[in-house]
Amino acid sequence: MKLSPRLAEESNQKLNRRALLLGGAMGAMFAVLGGRMRYLQVDQADALQLLAEENRIAIRLIPPARGLILDRNGKLIGGNEQNYRVLITRESAGDVELVLKRLASLIPLTEDDLAQTLKEVKSLNPFVPVTVAERLSWTDFSKIALNAPSLPGVVPEVGLSRHYPLDYDFAHVVGYVGPVSEKDLAEIDGPDPLLSIPKFQIGKIGVERWLEDDLRGLAGTKRIEVNSAGRVMRELDREEGLAGTDIRLTIDADVQNFAQARLGEESAAVVVMDVTNGDIICCASAPSFDPNLFVRGISFAEYNALTENDHRPLANKAVSGAYPPGSTFKVVTALAALDAGATTAEDKVSCPGFIEFSGTKFHCWKHGGHGRVKLQRSLAESCDVYYYDMAQKVGIDKIAEMGRKLGLGQRHDLPMSAIATAAMPDKAWKLEKYKKDWRIGDTINASIGQGYVLASPLQLAVMTARIASGLAVVPRLVRAIGDQEVPIGEVLPLDIAVEHLAAVRDGMNAVVNSDQGTGKSSRIVEPTMAMAGKTGTSQVRNISAAERETGVVANDDLPWNRRDHALFVGFAPYDAPRYAVAVVVEHGGGGALAAAPIARDVILRALYGGLPPLEAYPESQRGRIDTMLKELPLRDPVTGMAPVRTKA
């Protein structure tokens, strides 16, 4: 049927519109295809060519920068340094042994190094990179980069490694890092993927260990492209991790350095504590060691030298050492007797040089005795018989209760390793530990800090700080984590009568500042800095009756390890206490001779904020003190550069 002209025109218009729409759609499709082809053939030509050569994409973890450790004033204690290292990946290396041999021809690698690397490579997933060597010189690092085509699976890399610029001064406090061990992994619930990286280092002791989670940070990732030979072609992208949190300690690095230098080669420890808030200003243990040795890989010879040293440089004596406190403990017995109402500061006790109980003589250090003494003189001259008498009147349970109130027999919660609880014994303690009843002789020995009583220098510093301030101060080592100051908890008054504390402080003042005081040679003559304290000497051997009859052998005539320990505790200034100090010198002999002078020098360094002025010392000692201060191997306070040291 023939269409009318009008209908034919409308039909033609519809066909034209459909043709245009279809043509446009086809044109758009061809444009997209053309654009895609151009993108693949031109823009992505290099990428596709690499893929055609069997390139692969690998994702690797990026270890974060470890958080810094700083002293109270922001001085760097533990930081990071650039480390040139080389890694190998089994998946990309192919013949690992052959590649390692080629690598050994370029850089120094021992047979042991190669065997250890091969063992690690075979024990891990094939795509996990293994560190072959680190801390390479720039020359060796460049050799590897230049020979990369013949070293499939080998990647030279620049990373960060832990470094301790103040080495010996903070070895025991800060500790060190080392490679993750099986033991470490077994102790961690849900270990961080970072810990699976071969030779990844974590804190092993000290602050590094106990604040590991804060210091470690979070891993980053990077996508790299490698070809069929295992050579890294390029880094596609990376997502940086989160650096670890910085930690600021309460310790003053300059005071710490002074204390370490002052202790010298003694087997000793010193703790300085702020009596107002518990801040640990100094926590030194001697002899010390270089923690950088453990980070870099300590040799057998170096490690044996440390472990075989009879002065035990690896031990943190300041917190882990447990010593009979000797006469420094007399302040505890005195406070227990006063608190129990067994005596007053004015009551007198007769000291003939010994007391006898059940056929056993308990001697005073002064053979002829002290005569009639009251509390102040008993502390000043350290009369043993006075405390034997107090012990019988008050009993061990009251003495132990007072000791614990002053911080003895307690493990103080600080981020350091091997903190000792030591021993503040009572009747129940002995029955539980030894299945034996407590005897009066045990009480008499305990009253002068012998027998079962043990204390660490940290505990003795806490005890002294509490007596000096009348507050139940708690020691703290961390001042800030990141930007957040660590709050100081509420410091409550001690549950001890003010007049009793005053009486004991008066006696401690007489120890140092009276003409008869056992610590008089270590007095501070500057009135505003005057120090009060208590000397102590603790026996490490039994003295027989026969030896007493013929004369007790002097410490200097005994082998070093059979000599008495020397102790001193003190605080200053006496009128407005700021710092407490505790010093223990192992086998140092008398506390007055070996420990008290160290305590005086260190507390003066803390008080003055610099080298103590000679005017603070008795005039007769100034020449000797001047020479001693000039010869101390101190760091430069500005540059932190250390003098040359001999190894422990």
Residues serving a catalytic function are 327
DSSP character string of 114-159: HHHHHHHHHHS-TTS-EEEE-S--HHHHHHHHHTGGGSTTEEEEEE
Amino acid at 237: D
Q: How far is Cα 181 from Cα 350, in angstroms, rounded to an integer?
A: 62
**DSSP calls for 9-64:** HHHHHHHHHHHHHHHHHHHHHHHHHHHHHHIIIIITHHHHHHHHTT-EEEEEEEPP
Interatomic CA distance for residues 456 and 323, integer angstroms: 6
Write the single-letter amino acid at 109. Answer: L
8 Å CB contact between 390 and 447: yes
Written as six digits, the tokens of 279 are 């801040």
Close Cβ partners of 451 (under 8 Å, ≥ 6 residues apart): 324, 425, 442, 445
SS3 484: strand
- d(CA 334, CA 327) in angstroms, rounded, equals 11
What is the crossing angle of helices 330-340 and 396-405, to 10°? Answer: 110
SS (H, E, C) 439-452: CHHHHHHHHCCCCC
Q: Contact 38/44 with Cβ under 8 angstroms?
A: no
Within 13 Å, how many C-alpha atoms sit on residue 91's CB side? 13
- Alpha-helical (H) ranges within 53-95 are 90-93
Strand-pair partners of 83 = 159
- Between helix 396-405 and helix 440-447 the angle, nearest 10°, is 40
Token reading at 49? 């060519």
497 and 345 Cβ atoms separated by less than 8 Å: no
Closest residue by Cα to residue 280 from 78, 474, 567, 568: 474
Dihedral over alpha carbons 377, 383, 387, 388 (to 10 degrees): -150
* CA atoms 278, 282, 284, 289: torsion sign: positive
Q: What is the DSSP letter of 211?
A: T
What distance in Å separates the CA atoms of residue 554 and residue 620, rounded to the nearest whole number? 27
Closest-CA residue to 458 (of 284, 616, 632): 284
Torsion of CA 75, 77, 79, 82, to 10 degrees: 100
DSSP secondary structure of 567-583: EEEEEE-SSS--EEEEE
Nearest to 472 by CA among 498, 502, 492: 492
Cα angle at 461 between 456 and 462, to 5 degrees? 100
Angle between helix axes 440-447 and 384-394 (nearest 10 degrees) is 130
Residue with tokens 């422990």: 648
